[in-house]
Chains A and B, each alone.
Chain A
Amino acid sequence: MAIPLPWWLTVAAALFAIGLYGVLSRRNAIGVLLGIELMLNAANINLVAFWRYITPQALTGQVFAIFVIGIAAAEAAAGLAIIISAYRRRRTVVVDELDTMRW
C-alpha cells in the first residue's frame, strides 16, 4: 500500500471538479453528458478508495461502485435517446439553442 488515501481523494476531487466544469461550460448536450460521466467516476474512485482504506473487511464500497457503473450506463442510454429525439426535431444538440420555453 504505497499510495496513501489522501492522494486518491485528491484525484477524485480533481476529476469531480473537471466534470462539474465541463457540465457548466459545455453548450453541447453530449459534452455535458461526458462531464456527468466524469463526476460519477470521481465518486467511484472515492467509494473504492474508502473501501480499501477504511472498511476492507466488508465489500460495501466496491458493490456500490459496481452499481454506479451500471446506473451510469442506463442513464447514458436514456440521455442519448432523449438528445437524439431532440436532435431529430430541432437539428441541434446545443442546449442554449433549445429555447422555445423561457420564464
Chain B
Amino acid sequence: MTLTQLLVLLLPELVLTLTALVVLGLDMIWRNGSWSQRFLLWIALIGSVILIAVTVLIWPLTGTGGLPIAFATGKDFGGDQVPMMALDPLALFFKLFTALVLILVLLASGDYVRVRIRFRGEFYALILFGGLAMMLSAAATNLLMIYLSLEFLSITSYLLTGYLREDERSTEGAVKYFVYGATASAVMLYGFSLLYGATGTLDLAGIATVLMGGMVPVHWLVYPALIMVLVGLGFKIALVPFHQWAPDAYEGAPTPVTAFLSVGPKAAGFAVLMRLLLTALPGFQLDWIAVLAGIAIVTMTLGNLVALWQSNVKRLLAYSSIAQAGYMLIGLVALAPEAQSWTTGLNGLLLYLLAYLFTNLGAFAVVIAVENHAGSAQLDAFAGLMRRNPFLAITMFLFLLSLIGIPPTAGFVGKLFVFGAAIQRQMIMLAVVGIVNSVISVYYYYAIMRQMFFGEAVDTSPFDEGPGLRVAVGVAAVMVLMMALYAEPFIRLASESVSLLAASF
C-alpha cells in the first residue's frame, strides 16, 4: 500500500484532525469573546458534514472484506507488517455514527457555550478530538491502538467534564471521572499485557490464531486478562459495577458534554468490546457470554431502580443511560452464529446504538434548551413546558417514548431486535428481565412527562429555544420517527456493518 492510498483511506480521520486544528488555531487568532468567534462553531459543523461526505466516498473502496491499515512496514518492526486499524464495514458504521454525534452535539451546544463557556475554541476542538478518538477506537485491530485511542477518548472526556472551572460540581465530577477512569484503564492495560504474554502478539486476529492453535503453554493467563479487559471497557460503557462515575460526571459536566459522554464513549466501548471479543477471543465465548449476561441483568436493574429516586433530569438521564447500556449488552450476549436469521444480536446492538444516538441526543438537546432558559435541570424546571414551548414538550414526549421503547419510535426497533435475539437464542430470562425493566422505566420517564404536561409552572412565559437547538431537536425527532416507520435501510446498514464480524465468528 502506497502512502497516497493510505492517506485516502485515512481521509475521515484527517478531515476531523484538520478541522480541530483549524478551530484551535483560529481560536488563538480571534480574541476571546470577539464577534468572529461565533464562526468557530460553523467551522466545526462544516468539518463534521465533510466527514460524512468523505466516509460515504471511501465506502466503496473497502470492498466486502475490509482493508487492513498498517503504519509501519515489516522492515521497521523487525517482523511481519503490523496492521493497526481496519477499514471494514464496522469501522465505517462508527465513522458515520461519530459524525452524527458531533453534528447533533455541536448544534445543541451553540447557545449554551456562548453564555457559559469562556474558552470556546478549545471546547469545540476537544469535542472534535473526542470524535476522532471514537473513530480510531472503533477501527483499531491492535491492542496498542485500542489502548491509545481509548486513552485519547478518556483524557478528552475528563477535560471536557471539568470544563466549567468555576463550577463546584463540574470540577468534582471531573475528579471522580478521572480517578475511576485512570484506574480502570490501568487495569485494562495490565490485562492487555497478560494477553500479549499468553500469545506473543498484539494483533487481534493473531491472538485468535495463536489461541486456536492450542500450543499456548500459558492458556490460563487469558482468564484474568479477559476479566481485566472487561473492567476497562465496562467502565467506558458504564456497566454496573463500574458505573459509579457516570451519575456524578454526567450531572457535573456542561450539558452538551453530558450529551456527548452519554453516547460517544459508550458507542466506542461497545465497538471495541465487539471487535475484541469476537475477533480475538471467540474460543472463550462460553466464558464471556456468561459474565456479560450477568452484567447485563445487574446493569439494567440497578440503573432503572436508582433512576426512580432522581430529581435532577441530567442525573435521571445518566441512570437511564446506564440501564440502556444493559439492554444493548443483551445484543452481544445473544449473538447468533448463523447469519441468515433476521437478528444476529449484533445487528440489534448497532440498531439500538443508532436509535439511542438520536433519542438521547434529542432528549439532552431539550434539557439544554430548558437549562438555557431556566438555569437549572431540576425536574420542576420542566413544569408547564407544554404551555411555554409546545415544540420542545412534544418532541421530548417522543424521545421519552423512544427511551421506553414504545412504537412507533426508534427505541422500539432497537428493543425488538435485541430482545428478539435473546428469545431466539432461548435466553428467555434475559428477555424477561429486559421487558420488566422497560416497564419499571416508564415510571421515571413519566415523572418528566407529568411535569411537562400537568406541572404548575411559576414562570409561565413562553420562550424560544434558538435556531441551533431547534434544528438539533427537529432532526433528532424526525430520525426517531424515521427509524421506526421506514426502518428497512437502517436495518440493512446495521446488518451489513456486522456481517464481517458475524461471519468470522
Which chain A residues have a beta carbon within 8 Å of chain B's beta carbons? 9, 12, 16, 19-20, 23, 29, 32-33, 35-36, 39-40, 42-44, 46-47, 49-50, 54-55, 57-61, 63-64, 67-68, 71, 74-75, 78-79, 81-83, 85-86, 88-90, 95, 98, 100-101, 103
Q: Across the interface, do A86 and B175 meet the contact criterion of CB distance under 8 Å?
A: yes
Q: Across the interface, do A82 and B162 meet the contact criterion of CB distance under 8 Å?
A: yes
Given known A-B contacts A61-B196, A78-B159, A101 and B178 have beta carbons under 8 A apart: no
B459, CB-defined interface residue at 8 Å? no
Among A50, A58, A83, which residue has its beta carbon within 8 angstroms of that of B79? A58
Shortest beta-carbon distance from B319 to chain A in Å: 10
Q: Across the interface, do B178 and A78 meet the contact criterion of CB distance under 8 Å?
A: yes
Q: Across the interface, do A101 and B248 meet the contact criterion of CB distance under 8 Å?
A: yes
B158, CB-defined interface residue at 8 Å? yes
Q: Across the interface, do B168 and A36 meet the contact criterion of CB distance under 8 Å?
A: no
Q: Across the interface, do B182 and A43 meet the contact criterion of CB distance under 8 Å?
A: no
A32 / chain B contacts, CB cutoff of 8 Å? 179, 183
A98 / chain B contacts, CB cutoff of 8 Å? 172, 175-176
Shortest beta-carbon distance from A38 to chain B in Å: 9
Q: Across the interface, do B190 and A71 meet the contact criterion of CB distance under 8 Å?
A: no
Q: Across the interface, do B174 and A57 meet the contact criterion of CB distance under 8 Å?
A: no
Other A-B contacts than A40-B186, A64-B193, 10 sampled, CB-CB below 8 A, are A29-B179, A32-B179, A39-B187, A63-B77, A75-B154, A78-B158, A81-B159, A90-B171, A95-B175, A101-B315
Among A23, A42, A49, which residue has its beta carbon within 8 angstroms of that of B190? A42
Among A16, A36, A85, which residue has its beta carbon within 8 angstroms of that of B171? A85
B190 / chain A contacts, CB cutoff of 8 Å? 16, 39, 42-43, 46
A101 / chain B contacts, CB cutoff of 8 Å? 169, 172-173, 247-248, 251-252, 315
Q: Across the interface, do A82 and B175 meet the contact criterion of CB distance under 8 Å?
A: yes
Q: Across the interface, do A79 and B158 meet the contact criterion of CB distance under 8 Å?
A: yes
B282 / chain A contacts, CB cutoff of 8 Å? none
A64 / chain B contacts, CB cutoff of 8 Å? 143-144, 147, 192-193, 196, 202
**What would be 21 A-B contacts, judged by CB atoms less than 8 Å apart?**
A35-B183, A42-B190, A46-B193, A46-B196, A54-B200, A55-B200, A59-B77, A60-B79, A63-B144, A64-B196, A74-B155, A78-B178, A83-B178, A86-B162, A86-B172, A86-B174, A89-B166, A89-B171, A98-B172, A101-B173, A103-B309
CA distance in complex: A89, B143 (Å)? 38
CA distance in complex: A67, B79 (Å)? 19
CA distance in complex: A74, B77 (Å)? 25
Q: Across the interface, do A103 and B306 meet the contact criterion of CB distance under 8 Å?
A: yes
Q: Across the interface, do A29 and B175 meet the contact criterion of CB distance under 8 Å?
A: yes
B450, CB-defined interface residue at 8 Å? no
B174 / chain A contacts, CB cutoff of 8 Å? 82, 85-86
CA distance in complex: A32, B78 (Å)? 38
B194 / chain A contacts, CB cutoff of 8 Å? 46
Q: Across the interface, do B196 and A50 meet the contact criterion of CB distance under 8 Å?
A: yes
CA distance in complex: A88, B165 (Å)? 9
Q: Across the interface, do B148 and A67 meet the contact criterion of CB distance under 8 Å?
A: yes
Shortest beta-carbon distance from A60 to chain B in Å: 5
CA distance in complex: A12, B189 (Å)? 13
Chain B interface bracket (under 10, 10 to 19, 20 to 34, 35 or more): 35 or more
A49 / chain B contacts, CB cutoff of 8 Å? 197
Shortest beta-carbon distance from B146 to chain A in Å: 11
Q: Across the interface, do A43 and B186 meet the contact criterion of CB distance under 8 Å?
A: yes
B151, CB-defined interface residue at 8 Å? yes
Shortest beta-carbon distance from A8 to chain B in Å: 10
Q: Write the B447-460 contact mask toward A (1 if CB under 8 angstroms, else 0).
A: 00000000000000
B424, CB-defined interface residue at 8 Å? no
A19 / chain B contacts, CB cutoff of 8 Å? 186
Shortest beta-carbon distance from A32 to chain B in Å: 5
Shortest beta-carbon distance from B191 to chain A in Å: 9
Which residues of chain B from 192 to 241 have any CB-CB distance to chain A below 8 Å in the complex?
A: 192-194, 196-197, 200-202
Q: Across the interface, do B172 and A78 meet the contact criterion of CB distance under 8 Å?
A: no
Q: Across the interface, do A75 and B155 meet the contact criterion of CB distance under 8 Å?
A: yes
A100 / chain B contacts, CB cutoff of 8 Å? 168-169, 172
Q: Across the interface, do B192 and A43 meet the contact criterion of CB distance under 8 Å?
A: yes
Among B82, B158, B166, B197, the one with the most A-chain Cβ atoms within 10 Å of its Cβ is B197
CA distance in complex: A11, B192 (Å)? 17
B144 / chain A contacts, CB cutoff of 8 Å? 60, 63-64, 67
Given known A-B contacts A39-B190, A100-B168, A58 and B77 have beta carbons under 8 A apart: yes
CA distance in complex: A82, B156 (Å)? 12
Measured CB to CB, the nearest residue on chain B to A59 is B78
Q: Across the interface, do B158 and A82 meet the contact criterion of CB distance under 8 Å?
A: yes
CA distance in complex: A43, B193 (Å)? 6
B315 / chain A contacts, CB cutoff of 8 Å? 101
Among B158, B189, B197, B248, which residue has its beta carbon within 8 angstroms of that of A40? B189
Given known A-B contacts A42-B190, A50-B197, A75 and B179 have beta carbons under 8 A apart: no
Q: Across the interface, do A47 and B171 meet the contact criterion of CB distance under 8 Å?
A: no
B200 / chain A contacts, CB cutoff of 8 Å? 50, 54-55
A85 / chain B contacts, CB cutoff of 8 Å? 162, 165, 171, 174
Q: Across the interface, do A89 and B168 meet the contact criterion of CB distance under 8 Å?
A: yes
CA distance in complex: A89, B252 (Å)? 14
Shortest beta-carbon distance from A95 to chain B in Å: 6
A36 / chain B contacts, CB cutoff of 8 Å? 182-183, 186
Given known A-B contacts A58-B79, A82-B159, A33 and B171 have beta carbons under 8 A apart: no
Measured CB to CB, the nearest residue on chain A to B144 is A64
Which residues of chain B from 285 to 337 have any CB-CB distance to chain A below 8 Å in the complex?
A: 306, 309, 315
Measured CB to CB, the nearest residue on chain A to B315 is A101
Shortest beta-carbon distance from B237 to chain A in Å: 20
